[in-house]
Amino acid sequence: METVFTPWASLAGGVLIGLASILLMLSLGRIMGATGVLAGLFQPRDGADFQWRAALLAGMVTGPVVVWLATGAMPAVEVPISTAALVLGGILVGIGVTYGSGCTSGHGVCGMARLSPRSIAATVTFMIFTGVTVFVARHVIGG
Amino acid sequence: MKLISTYLIGLVFGVGISISGMANPDKVLNFFDVAGTWDPSLIFVMGGALVTTFVGYRIVLGRKEPLFEGRFSLPTARTIDARLIGGSALFGVGWGIAGFCPGGALPALGTGRWEVFAFTAALVVGILIAKFIQSIGASRAQTAS
């Protein structure tokens, strides 16, 4: 389904994502990577390690609620694929980000901002594979 | 104090993801669908986040230490290996199928939509599968040596 081009909202959202990344580095000295934050919850080093991850995650989850309170509308979540595809995609993402040591936030934003060669290589790789997968799913298999 | 500030940082991230469109698989998949219903919005997300973080990191990482910890915890790995590239490729395939990345899905849990919970549950299963395989590999390597 077509979606509306939203350059300003997307730019503002991007700046906030960047701001959060900066503040987490300033306060805890940590990379704002969703993969790392989530994975660490399952094997935290100690209680304090678990606590900051849980607090960050709780803040993230409150985000849409605050947007809802401010605008009267929940952020749109439109899933144009089957539940089976959603679950398959989720499992592949989970395995991939664990072996790849990061995702869009960790490699694509924080690592790229540090000009880390590993993050640049990872980001280029997943952007290419995502694009190819979408093309195949929509225009080869689906087309 | 530390936990409250961490919570608020998560909130800034969650609001950013929410208004950016990254929490919406339809919009994410359209960004990659250049040959179809292309929506270039997400280039503004990546651009805005990257430029902001690039500038902010220059200032923050110039400090001796973060505010609440004794040192910066920065990744130390340097080598670009098959594990990094293969994992990232697999992540790309999954992202291209589902339209959610972890950073998009975690805040989207707050919308209460069951699809987000289904994806996140699968994501966690994937992480645990990979960690299990890695732990078998690690224990085999130990036995061998």
Q: What's the average model confidence in pLDDT over B81-107?
A: 98
The H or E element containing residue A117 is helix A117-135
Give the tens place of pLDDT for each residue, B122-131: 999 999 999 9
Q: Which of B5, B31, B38, B45 to mutate to test the interface with A (most CBs of A within 10 A)?
A: B45
Instruction: Say how many C-beta atoms besides its own lie within 10 A of residue B129's C-beta.
Output: 14
Q: What's the average model confidence in pLDDT over B42-66?
A: 97
> How many Å apart are CA A67 and CA B28, to the nearest integer?
19
**Domain residue extents for chain A:** 7-141
> How many Å apart are CA A64 and CA B53, to the nearest integer?
22
Per-residue confidence (pLDDT) for residue B122, from 0 to 100: 98
CB under 8 Å to A16, separation ≥6 — which residues? B12, B13, B15, B16, B19, B20
Residue B144, pLDDT > 80, answer no
Contacts of A103 in chain B (CB under 8 A): 91, 101-103
- A131 closest CB neighbour out of B32, B118, B126: B32
Q: Is B137 on the interface with A (CB under 8 A)?
A: no
Confidence of residue A142 (pLDDT cuts 50, 70, 90): confident
Give the tens place of pLDDT for each residue, A10-68: 999 999 999 999 999 999 999 999 999 999 999 899 999 999 999 999 999 999 999 99
- B102 closest CB neighbour out of A13, A64, A103: A103
Phi, psi values for residue B10, rounded to 5°: -60, -40
Is this complex's ipTM strictly greater than 0.95?
A: yes
Residue-by-residue DSSP string for A71-106: HSSPPP----S-HHHHHHHHHHHHHHHHHTT--III
End-to-end CA distance of chain A: 14
Cβ density class B26-50: b for 16+ within 10 Å, e for less = bbbbbbbbeeeeebebbebbbbbbb
Give the tens place of pLDDT for each residue, B109-124: 999 999 999 999 999 9
**Domain residue extents for chain B:** 2-144
Q: Is B1 on the interface with A (CB under 8 A)?
A: no
Give the tens place of pLDDT for each residue, A85-140: 999 999 999 999 999 999 999 999 999 999 999 999 999 999 999 999 999 999 99
Q: What's the average model confidence in pLDDT over B80-84?
A: 96
